[in-house]
Each structure stands twice: as structure tokens, then as C-alpha cells.
């Protein structure tokens, strides 16, 4: 145990022990088989024509969760931006310190990751993959490119950067509101354009999730490289 | 006893471990890591218990919930780390036990 | 497009769009986006309340699926009340903030991102009041949590950052615990929709554990004693418009979910003893928070501890709800009036405290003597907010206490009435401590000789609203009758 | 049926998590956290959730790990200007 003064403290031990007993008892009381909403979801997905049920749940049945979740991502980006120490720090170089190994790795890996991201989105409706996974891989590729000095975003809170960060959420809101004009409710895609709209959202979300993850990293990383405190 | 129970039990243990770390570890970054372990614990419980389907194949609903949860957790983590860094720059303190010497705030 | 039918969806989508647009608009134009959004959302919220009064509660199927496949929003009387409260306080805070935050300073207040963060918070509060899905609550809570923590730290001072970090860890603990509860509940029942759960919930260890964890997490987020440890620092060190929103609205978001789970989703006595336990904690909060408020020497700390105390009243409805439909109706109307009156008065108090601090250049209560002479409108606003906080007639606070005391006496459990009266006396004591200084006729030396009309008069407007609320109690009780809690209890046909 | 592989995998996960929290050197803690994320991805595949596995590897281990490494670097790079006494013993990583 690390710091003898702090790690083995009584209250945390009681709390986690209590949780263990309380939750353990609840888990053991469960019947060994149950299917939740799996059957309904599978049938629903079959009707909507999306083979990957997880994608159907995320973007169709529970698309509202996903809309709010994109809001969470953008909110977190704004939050991290608001915590910058020095607004000018973002425009400074934050990388360019790649060694030969990281450089070579990036040269092979980054294009591959971007391809993988595209592939994940494309197959997302029928196989594992989709906007979240694709976006995450895209964001990771971006981080790698920046870390090794291949990409130098002019990250200065300029209008264009703000647009890139926002356009995914705005488009999603637009698509969510669009069915209202036809008498449907929020996010109720019309049957004839459902598949197209979902694919459109997937692509937008991939880009915006990728941009959010990258900017979460950039906004915080640049604070490190921003130099000394004023 | 079956496979789902192994992962669920692991999730419960992981959650308890994370709770302990969040409350007991002093360094703020350790607290952030602990919260992430709590999250992973809950996700394991969610998907573990979603693997009890008699007709085979895991329940897609917990999977969707976990995907959402992972994204939310990274957002929380990013915010937490940003605050920790800013606080450290301002005061040189990396925990919540010590008080900053000069608190000038409105 | 039938706007009336679309109101729940619009109440989330419009502020969300406002948040996104305010970010693109940039520092200078963002306040205009926020003000426009605030007026539109107020209109939508009032329209929803009128619609619910006319036609009763309705469900809104997002994506057109309907539960259990999709997510439903629930527009009932209680939700409409909280949405209107949020919109009124939100509009006033937005106007106040245009005077409070300087837009010419590049580095001040999160680089001008206050507006975007605030609109995100508004979105998440609206979404929280409307949602009918227990997992969606988790996403909403996270949106509220992230925006709230960030808004606390937006001033950038060491004290605020520390308070924000503490708030964030409390928030993380709460969110993970809530999600664990949802995991167990879903594993046991296979359902996420509150209304489906209400009709299908049976006695079950796992489901009960899940619900207990969810309620514990929400109690932490509502800062009910003893889980209040994060609140005074966070609410006390945030910029004043943020403190106003946190105290007046944010704690009510998680409280509202507790209300739904305890009184609507779970059958009576589903978690035995929890209703009484929450009532006892509420009573402890009233006493402890008030005593702490009495001991504070800094104005915003006093107001923040007063919030700890006032949250306590909200939890007295749970033990009273066990005593039949009539007591439940009185108690529920009482807490709803209390939530409204506290929401308006507390926002007024925090905004007023912020203006006083700007004018005096410090936050020490002892050195604020003579405020009444130099800043009459402002001091009058703070005093009036104090009156409703004490529960003096005629004010919204008085109406709330009257209803709650009647409920306690009708239930036969008179000791809750003793708690209520004691709480009123303690509130009078700590408010009097503040007012006795402000109202002295001493010569003052002001740091800022001239105040903006918005920062001088808006606190008074909110306080007046809290006082005049007493006239709107029939309206509140009509909305309470149109809430799912009373409809499902069989009170309203 | 309990597979030996599953028990080993869960045991490893718990062991790494415990090690990460019990480690006083922050850098090592974070590296263990990233390794934990990769093992989690394997667990997700075992549980029939490749969608989650992909997200976990990219976000859980990748992006979160990068953010944490950056934070550790930040704290380390600023460690010198402040007199000791404020810092807890856990931050002196090597």
C-alpha cells in the first residue's frame, strides 16, 4: 500500500466494501437467463433495414440519447477550451517532437487508421462499427498526426475551427427537427429516406466525433506547450 | 455459474476498487483514473448481465448504453484533467486536501 | 407543423441549437444569441404549461417509436412548472449576465464561452425535466454536471478551481452510481421507460437495489445533507449568475427525478423506510444548513448554506406522501410552490449578492453597512427575497410553508410541522443577520459608485416574483393536479 | 460453463487496475491504465460486443490515455517552480 497515511483509510474501505456486498447480493439474486429488450430491438431493426442492431439502437430507436451525447462531447470541448490559461497558446506549435520511430510509425499507421475509420462507418449498418468507433479511430489518428508533427492545426479559436467543431451537432439538430415539418416528432425519420438520413448522420457524426476527440486533446495539450504562466 | 457471472463479478469488484480509489487516493490524477475504473466496472456489469439471453447473442441495448457511457466518460475525464492542470498551474497543488494559500475570487 | 404537439421536442432542440450557434457566433455576438434563445424558450415553456392545463399531460415519442423501443418525453404539470421556472430564472440570469460579464476582455470568464456553456446547461435542465427514460436521465445528468462544473471554474480563481474539482468528483461518483443502478434495474426488469416500469415493477431484490442506488446518486447530486459537502464551496465561489442558476435550478433537476422515481414509478413502500429516511435527512438539512448559514461571514457563503437548508424542505414530501391522497396533494403542491418560490428568491439573492459584491468590492457581510442608502433598489430586492425565504406572509415562501404545515398536521405526524416552523425561525435569524447590516443607516464607501440598471433592478424583479407567487398558488395547484404523480395516485380523474 | 480464459482475463483486469491505483508513480499508473483498456477490449470481444471493443480501444485506451499522459507531463513540467511542501509524495515520478 502506498502512502500509509492515506491509502488504507477507513471510510473509503467501508464505502467500497458496502457497495461490494450490496451490489453483489443484487447480482446473485438475478435469474440466469433474461433477454431484456433484445427481442423487440432485433425485430425493430429488421423492420428498419439496419442489420447491425447496436447501430439501429444508437441512431434510430435511441437516437435521442445519441443527440444528447454529441452535445456532451461538444460541451466537453467547449469546457476544456474555456479552461485554457492563455488563448494565444492554441496557435503556437504544440508538436514537432517526433523521433524517427514515432515518425515512421505515424507514416504507416495514420493513413491506415483513416481508412479504417471510413471502413467502420461504411459497414456500420450491417457489421460491427459505426460513427462512434469510426470517429474515435479518426480522432486517434489525428492525435497521432499532431503528436508526431505531421499536422499543424492553426488552432486559434478562429471561425473556421469553431465551425468544424459545431457543424456535426448543428446538422444533427437539423435532421432531428426536419421530420417535424411533416407532422412527425423529433428524430422521426420518414420511412422512405430513413436509410439515407441515417447514413448521412453517421458520416457527419464520425467527422464531428473525430474532431471533438482531437480538439479535446489539442485544447488541453496546447496548454502544456503554451509556455510559462503569465 | 456461467461466463456472464465471471465478468459481472469482475465488474462489481472493479467498481468497488474504483470507489475506494476515488475516495482514498490523494492525487487528483489518481482520482480521475479511479473514476474511469468505476466506469469500466459498471460497463462490465451492464454487458455481462446483458449476456444472459437464452436464444444466444448479447442484448444490444446495454451495448448501446456502454458506447454512450464510454463517450461520456472520456468527456468527464478530459474536463477533470483540464481542471487538475489549471489548478496545479495556479497553485502548485495536486490534491484536494491542501488549501491554496491565497484564494482571491469573487 | 403543429407546434403545440412538438413543444417537448422543441424545448430541448431550441436551446441546444442556441448553444451550438452561440459557439460559432463568437464572443461578441453570443450574448445576442443567448437572449434570443431565452425569449423563445420562455415562450415555449409557457405554451407547454398552458397546453398541459388545457389538455392534461401527454407523452412525446422521440423518433416516433414509443416506449419500450424508443425514448418518451413526459409533459405533465410538474414538468411544466419546472420548465417555466427554469425559463423565467434563465431569462433574468441571461439579462443580468450581459451586464455582469465584460465582453471586451479576451481572457475573462472562460474566453467568452459563458454563453455557450450556459445554453448547454439550460438544454440539459429542460431535457432532465422532460425525460421519461431512466438511461436518458444519466445522459442529461452528465450534461448538467459537466456544464455546471465548468461554469463554477469559469472565473479561474484558485478557490473556484478547487471547488470545481470537488464538485466534479462528487458528480462523477454520482453519475457512476446512478448508471450502476440503471444496470441493475434493467437487468432485473428489462425496461428503461419510467411509465412501463411503473406498471410492471414487482418486488425484486435486484430492482430494489438498482433503484436505491439511483436514488442515492441523485441525493448526492441534489446535495441533501450529509451529501452536501461539495455545494457551499461550488455555489459560493462561482460567478454570481452561475451561483444563481446552480442554487435555484440545478439542484432541482436531480430532485425532480427523485420525485418521479419515489412518488410515480415505485409503488408505495417499494423501498421500505426510504421515504422516512429522506424526510429525516431533509429535516437535518434544514437545521444544519441554517445553523451553518448563521455562522458565515461572507455573503455568498451564507446564501449557499441557505440553499443547503432550503433543499431540506423539498424532501419532506416523501414521508408525508404515505398518508393518503389528500395529504399527498397538499404536500406535493407545497413542495412545488416551495421549489418555485425558492428558485425565484434564491436566484434573486445570489444575483443581489453579486451586485453588492461588485459595488462594495468585497464579500464581507460585516462591512456592507449602509447599503440601503447607497443602493436602495438592490438592498430592497435582497430584503424582499429574504422575506420569502423566511416564509413571512404574504409571499410564495409563506404559501409553501402553509401548505406543508397543513399536510403535516393532516397526516397526524405533527413533528414535521415543528421542523417546518423551526426552519422558518432559523431562516429569519440568518436573513436578519444579513439584513440588519444592509439596512443600517451608515455612511458607505463604494468600490463602484454607479451600478448598471440590470444588476440593480433584476434581483428585485425576481424577489417580487417570489412574493407575488402567493397569488399564483391556485394555478400551481392546478398544474400539480395535472401531474402524473397525482393522476396515478388517483387524485385527479 | 466457466472458461479458464475468462477467469484469467478478469483476474488480469483486476490485477492491472489494482496495480494502477496502488502505484505511486503517476506515469506508471497511467501506462497501466492504458494497458487495462486494451485488455478491456479483449473482454468486450469475449462478451460478443465487438462494437464496444472498437470504441474501448480507440477512446478508452487511446484518447483517454493520451489525455492522461499529457496531464502527467503537464504536472511534471511545472513541478519545479514551486517549493516543496505543497506537492504530495505521489507526484514524484521517475
Question: Above pLDDT 90, what percent of chain A?
Answer: 23
Which of C60, C113, C120 comes nearest A71 by C-beta? Answer: C120
Which residues from chain D sit within 8 angstroms of residue B79, using beta carbons?
none
Q: Do D62 and A136 touch (CB under 8 A)?
A: yes
**C–B contact: 3+ Cβ pairs < 8 A:** yes
* pLDDT value of residue A117: 86
Range from A130-134, A158-162, B101-105, C7-11 carrying the lowest mean pLDDT: B101-105
Over residues A172-207, the pLDDT tens digits come to 999 999 999 988 899 998 888 888 888 888 888 888
Residue B103 has pLDDT above 70, yes or no: no
Nearest CA to CA, how far is A180 from chain D (Å)? Answer: 31
Residue D90 has pLDDT above 60, yes or no: no
What's the CA angle centered on A215, arms C128 and C240, to 5 degrees? 50
* HSE, side-chain direction, 13 A CA sphere, residue B77: 34
Closest D-chain CA to A53: D51
Residue A93 has pLDDT above 80, yes or no: no
Helical spans, DSSP H, in C201-250: 205-222, 231-237, 240-245
Q: What is the DSSP string of A30-82?
A: S-S---TTHHHHHHHHHHHT-S-HHHHIIIIITHHHHHHHHHHHHHHHHHHHH
Interface mutation target, options D32, D44, D51, chain A, most CBs of A under 10 Å: D51
3-state secondary structure B53-84: CCCCCCCHHHHHHHHHHHHHHHHHHHHHHHHH
Q: What is the mean pLDDT of chain D?
A: 82
> All 3 cell numbers of residue D27?
506515469
Nearest CA to CA, how far is A19 from chain B (Å)? Answer: 6
* pLDDT value of residue A221: 66
Q: How confident is the model at residue A209 (pLDDT cuts 50, 70, 90)?
A: confident
- Is the residue at D30 inside a domain? yes
- Is the residue at D8 inside a domain? no
Q: How confident is the model at residue A64 (pLDDT cuts 50, 70, 90)?
A: very high
Q: Is the ipTM of this complex over 0.90?
A: yes
Which residues from chain A sit within 8 angstroms of residue D24, using beta carbons?
2-3
**D–C contact: 3+ Cβ pairs < 8 A:** no
User: CA B3, B8, B13, B14 torsion: positive or negative?
Assistant: positive
Q: Do C123 and A181 touch (CB under 8 A)?
A: no
Q: Is B84 on the interface with D (CB under 8 A)?
A: yes
Which residues from chain D sit within 8 angstroms of residue A59, using beta carbons?
none
Nearest CA to CA, how far is A181 from chain D (Å)? Answer: 34
Q: Do A139 and D58 touch (CB under 8 A)?
A: yes
Q: Domain range holding D74?
A: 24-81
Interface mutation target, options A84, A133, A142, chain D, most CBs of D under 10 Å: A133
The residue behind cell 434510430 is A60
- Is the residue at D61 inside a domain? yes
- Is the residue at D15 inside a domain? no
Contacts of C196 (CB under 8 A, 6+ apart): C67, C68
Find out whether the peptide bond into C226 is cis, omega within 30 degrees of 0. Answer: yes
Residue A213 has pLDDT above 90, yes or no: no
Q: How confident is the model at residue B83 (pLDDT cuts 50, 70, 90)?
A: very high
Q: Is B27 on the interface with A (CB under 8 A)?
A: no
The residue behind cell 453588492 is C356
Q: Do D20 and B33 touch (CB under 8 A)?
A: yes
Nearest CA to CA, how far is D44 from chain A (Å)? Answer: 12
Give the C-alpha separation, C433 to C294, whole Å. Answer: 8
Range from A74-78, C23-27, C325-329, D1-5 carrying the lowest mean pLDDT: D1-5
CA nearest neighbour of C453 among C118, C96, C193, C194: C96
Q: Do B19 and A19 touch (CB under 8 A)?
A: yes
* pLDDT value of residue D83: 42
Mean pLDDT to the nearest integer, A86-105: 58
Closest D-chain CA to A54: D51
Residues in chain B, overall count: 106
* pLDDT value of residue C318: 97
Number of domains in chain D: 1
Give the C-alpha separation, C358 to C438, whole Å. Answer: 15
Q: Is A75 on the interface with B (CB under 8 A)?
A: yes
* pLDDT value of residue A97: 53
CA nearest neighbour of C392 among C335, C330, C320, C341: C341
CA nearest neighbour of B34 among B73, B82, B62: B73
Residue D84 has pLDDT above 90, yes or no: no
Q: Is C176 on the interface with A (CB under 8 A)?
A: no
> All 3 cell numbers of residue A71?
452535445
Q: What is the DSSP string of C14-40?
A: HHHHHHHHHHHH-TTTHHHHHHHHHHH
Contacts of C424 (CB under 8 A, 6+ apart): C390, C391, C401
Nearest CA to CA, how far is C191 from chain A (Å)? Answer: 7
> All 3 cell numbers of residue A84?
485554457
Q: What is the DSSP string of A118-134?
A: HHHHHHTTTSS--HHHH
Q: Do B82 and A56 touch (CB under 8 A)?
A: no
What's the CA angle centered on C293, arms C290 and C294, to 5 degrees? 90
Annotate D68-78 with b (16+ C-beta within 10 A) or e (fewer). Answer: bbbbbbbbeeb
- Is the residue at D94 inside a domain? no
User: CA C331, C337, C339, C345 torsion: positive or negative?
Assistant: negative
Q: Is C247 on the interface with A (CB under 8 A)?
A: no
- Is the residue at D38 inside a domain? yes
Residue A7 has pLDDT above 50, yes or no: no
Interface mutation target, options B4, B53, B79, B88, chain D, most CBs of D under 10 Å: B88
Contacts of C349 (CB under 8 A, 6+ apart): C303, C306, C382, C385, C386, C389, C459, C463
Q: What is the DSSP string of B3-31?
A: HHHHHHHHHHHHHHHHHHHHHH--BHHHH
Residues of chain C with pLDDT under 50: none
CA nearest neighbour of C246 among C341, C335, C157, C122: C122
* pLDDT value of residue C232: 96
The residue behind cell 484536494 is B96
Give the C-alpha separation, C324 to C32, whole Å. Answer: 49
- Is the residue at D32 inside a domain? yes
Q: Which chains touch B (3 or more CB pairs under 8 A)?
A: A, C, D
Q: How many CB atoms lie within 10 A of CB D46?
A: 18
* HSE, side-chain direction, 13 A CA sphere, residue D84: 5
Cα(first)–Cα(last) distance of chain B, in Å? 58
Give the C-alpha separation, C375 to A175, whole Å. Answer: 50
Q: How many CB atoms lie within 10 A of CB C174?
A: 23
Residues in chain D, overall count: 94
Q: Is B61 on the interface with A (CB under 8 A)?
A: yes
* pLDDT value of residue A56: 87
Nearest CA to CA, how far is A106 from chain C (Å)? Answer: 32
**B–D contact: 3+ Cβ pairs < 8 A:** yes
Phi, psi (5° rounding) for residue C298? -110, 140
Question: Is there a contact between A220 and B78 (Cβ–Cβ < 8 Å)?
Answer: yes
- Is the residue at D45 inside a domain? yes
Which residues from chain C sit within 8 angstroms of residue A36, using beta carbons?
186-187, 190
Over residues B20-79, the pLDDT tens digits come to 999 999 999 999 999 999 999 999 999 999 998 877 678 999 999 999 999 999 999 999
Over residues D25-71, the pLDDT tens digits come to 999 999 999 999 999 999 999 999 998 998 898 888 888 998 999 89
Would you call A29 helix, strand, or coil by DSSP? coil
* pLDDT value of residue A91: 43
3-state helix, strand, coil in chain A (%, to 5): 70, 0, 30
Q: List, in sequence order, every residue forming a beta bridge with C74; answer none if it has no partner.
A: C59
Residue of A64 and C448 predicted with greater confidence: A64
Q: What is the mean pLDDT of chain A?
A: 79
Amino acid at each position: 500500500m502506498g502512502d500509509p497515511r492515506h491509502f488504507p483509510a477507513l471510510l473509503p474501505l467501508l464505502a467500497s466494501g458496502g457497495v461490494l456486498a450490496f451490489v453483489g447480493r443484487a447480482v446473485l439474486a438475478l435469474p440466469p437467463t433474461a433477454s431484456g429488450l433484445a427481442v423487440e430491438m432485433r425485430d425493430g431493426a429488421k423492420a428498419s433495414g439496419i442489420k447491425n442492431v447496436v447501430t439501429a439502437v444508437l441512431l434510430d430507436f435511441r437516437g435521442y440519447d445519441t443527440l444528447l451525447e454529441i452535445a456532451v462531447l461538444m460541451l466537453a470541448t467547449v469546457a476544456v477550451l474555456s479552461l485554457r490559461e492563455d488563448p494565444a497558446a492554441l496557435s503556437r506549435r504544440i508538436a514537432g517532437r517526433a523521433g524517427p520511430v514515432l515518425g515512421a510509425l505515424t507514416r504507416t499507421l495514420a493513413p491506415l487508421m483513416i481508412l479504417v475509420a471510413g471502413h467502420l462507418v461504411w459497414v456500420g449498418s450491417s457489421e460491427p462499427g459505426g460513427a462512434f468507433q469510426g470517429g474515435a479511430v479518426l480522432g486517434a489518428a489525428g492525435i497521432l498526426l499532431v503528436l508526431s508533427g505531421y499536422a499543424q492545426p492553426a488552432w486559434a479559436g478562429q471561425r473556421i475551427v469553431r465551425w468544424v467543431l459545431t457543424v456535426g451537432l448543428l446538422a444533427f439538430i437539423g435532421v432531428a427537427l426536419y421530420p417535424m415539418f411533416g407532422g412527425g416528432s423529433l428524430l422521426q425519420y420518414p420511412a422512405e429516406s430513413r436509410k439515407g438520413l441515417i447514413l448521412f448522420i453517421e458520416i457527419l457524426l464520425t467527422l464531428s466525433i473525430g474532431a471533438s476527440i482531437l480538439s479535446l486533446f489539442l485544447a488541453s495539450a496546447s496548454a502544456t506547450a503554451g509556455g510559462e504562466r503569465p | 455459474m456461467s461466463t456472464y457471472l465471471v465478468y459481472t463479478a469482475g465488474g462489481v469488484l472493479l467498481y468497488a476498487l474504483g470507489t475506494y480509489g476515488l475516495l482514498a487516493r490523494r492525487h487528483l490524477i489518481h482520482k480521475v483514473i479511479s473514476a474511469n475504473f468505476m466506469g469500466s466496472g459498471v460497463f462490465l456489469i451492464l454487458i455481462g448481465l446483458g449476456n444472459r439471453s437464452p436464444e444466444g447473442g448479447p442484448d444490444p441495448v446495454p451495448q448501446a448504453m456502454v458506447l454512450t457511457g464510454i463517450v461520456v466518460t472520456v468527456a468527464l475525464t478530459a474536463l477533470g484533467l483540464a481542471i487538475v492542470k489549471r489548478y496545479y498551474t495556479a497553485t502548485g497543488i495536486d490534491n484536494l486536501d491542501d488549501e491554496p494559500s491565497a484564494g482571491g475570487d469573487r | 407543423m403543429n407546434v403545440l404537439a412538438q413543444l417537448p421536442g422543441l424545448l430541448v432542440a431550441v436551446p441546444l441549437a442556441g448553444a451550438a450557434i452561440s459557439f460559432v457566433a463568437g464572443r461578441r455576438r453570443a450574448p445576442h444569441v443567448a437572449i434570443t434563445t431565452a425569449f423563445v424558450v420562455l415562450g415555449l415553456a409557457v405554451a407547454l404549461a398552458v397546453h398541459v392545463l388545457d389538455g392534461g399531460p401527454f407523452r412525446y415519442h422521440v423518433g416516433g417509436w414509443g416506449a419500450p423501443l424508443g425514448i418518451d418525453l413526459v409533459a405533465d404539470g410538474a414538468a411544466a412548472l419546472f420548465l417555466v421556472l427554469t425559463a423565467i430564472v434563465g431569462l433574468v440570469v441571461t439579462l443580468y449576465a450581459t451586464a455582469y460579464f465584460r465582453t471586451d476582455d479576451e481572457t475573462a470568464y472562460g474566453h467568452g464561452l459563458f454563453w455557450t456553456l450556459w445554453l448547454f446547461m439550460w438544454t440539459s435542465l429542460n431535457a432532465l425535466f422532460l425525460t421519461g427514460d431512466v438511461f436518458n436521465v444519466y445522459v442529461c445528468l452528465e450534461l448538467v454536471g459537466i456544464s455546471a462544473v465548468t461554469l463554477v471554474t469559469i472565473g479561474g480563481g484558485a478557490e473556484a478551481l478547487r471547488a470545481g474539482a470537488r464538485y466534479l468528483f462528487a458528480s462523477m461518483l454520482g453519475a457512476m452510481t446512478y448508471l450502476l443502478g440503471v444496470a441493475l434495474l434493467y437487468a432485473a426488469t428489462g425496461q428503461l421507460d419510467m411509465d412501463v416500469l411503473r406498471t410492471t415493477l414487482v418486488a425484486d431484490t435486484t430492482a430494489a437495489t438498482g433503484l436505491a442506488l439511483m436514488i442515492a446518486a441523485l441525493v448526492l447530486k441534489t446535495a441533501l445533507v450529509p451529501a452536501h459537502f461539495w455545494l457551499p464551496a461550488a455555489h459560493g465561489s462561482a460567478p454570481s449568475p452561475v451561483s444563481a442558476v446552480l442554487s435555484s435550478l440545478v439542484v432541482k433537476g436531480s430532485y425532480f427525478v427523485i420525485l418521479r422515481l419515489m412518488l410515480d414509478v415505485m409503488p408505495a413502500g417499494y423501498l421500505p423506510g426510504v421515504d422516512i429516511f429522506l424526510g429525516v435527512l431533509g429535516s437535518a438539512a434544514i437545521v444544519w444548513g441554517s445553523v451553518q448559514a448563521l455562522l458565515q461571514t461572507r455573503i455568498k457563503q451564507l446564501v449557499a448554506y441557505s440553499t443547503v437548508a432550503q433543499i431540506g424542505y423539498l424532501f419532506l414530501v416523501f414521508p408525508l406522501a404515505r398518508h393518503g391522497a389528500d395529504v399527498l396533494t397538499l404536500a406535493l403542491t407545497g413542495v412545488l410552490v416551495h421549489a418555485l418560490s425558492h428558485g425565484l428568491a434564491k436566484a434573486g439573492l445570489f444575483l443581489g449578492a453579486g451586485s453588492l459584491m461588485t459595488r462594495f468590492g468585497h464579500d464581507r457581510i460585516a462591512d456592507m453597512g449602509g447599503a440601503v442608502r447607497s443602493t436602495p433598489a438592490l438592498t430592497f430586492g435582497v430584503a424582499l427575497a429574504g422575506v420569502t425565504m423566511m416564509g413571512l406572509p404574504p409571499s410564495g415562501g409563506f404559501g409553501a410553508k402553509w401548505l406543508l404545515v397543513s399536510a403535516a398536521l393532516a397526516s397526524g405526524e405533527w413533528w414535521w410541522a415543528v421542523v417546518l416552523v423551526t426552519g422558518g425561525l432559523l431562516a429569519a435569524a440568518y436573513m436578519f443577520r444579513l439584513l440588519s447590516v444592509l439596512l443600517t443607516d451608515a455612511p458607505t464607501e463604494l468600490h463602484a459608485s454607479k451600478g448598471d440598471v440590470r444588476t440593480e433592478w433584476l434581483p428585485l424583479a425576481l424577489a417580487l416574483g417570489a412574493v407575488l407567487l402567493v397569488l399564483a398558488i391556485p394555478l400551481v395547484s392546478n398544474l400539480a393536479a395535472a401531474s402524473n404523480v397525482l393522476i396515478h395516485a388517483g387524485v385527479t380523474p | 460453463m466457466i472458461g479458464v480464459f475468462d477467469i484469467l482475463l478478469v483476474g488480469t483486469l483486476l490485477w492491472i487496475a489494482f496495480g494502477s491505483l496502488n502505484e505511486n508513480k503517476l506515469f506508471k499508473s497511467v501506462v497501466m491504465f492504458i494497458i487495462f483498456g486494451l485488455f478491456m477490449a479483449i473482454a468486450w470481444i469475449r462478451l460478443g460486443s465487438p462494437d464496444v471493443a472498437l470504441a474501448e480501444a480507440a477512446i478508452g485506451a487511446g484518447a483517454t490515455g493520451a489525455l492522461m499522459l499529457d496531464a502527467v507531463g503537464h504536472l511534471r513540467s511545472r513541478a519545479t517552480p514551486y517549493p516543496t511542501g505543497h506537492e504530495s509524495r505521489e507526484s514524484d515520478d521517475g
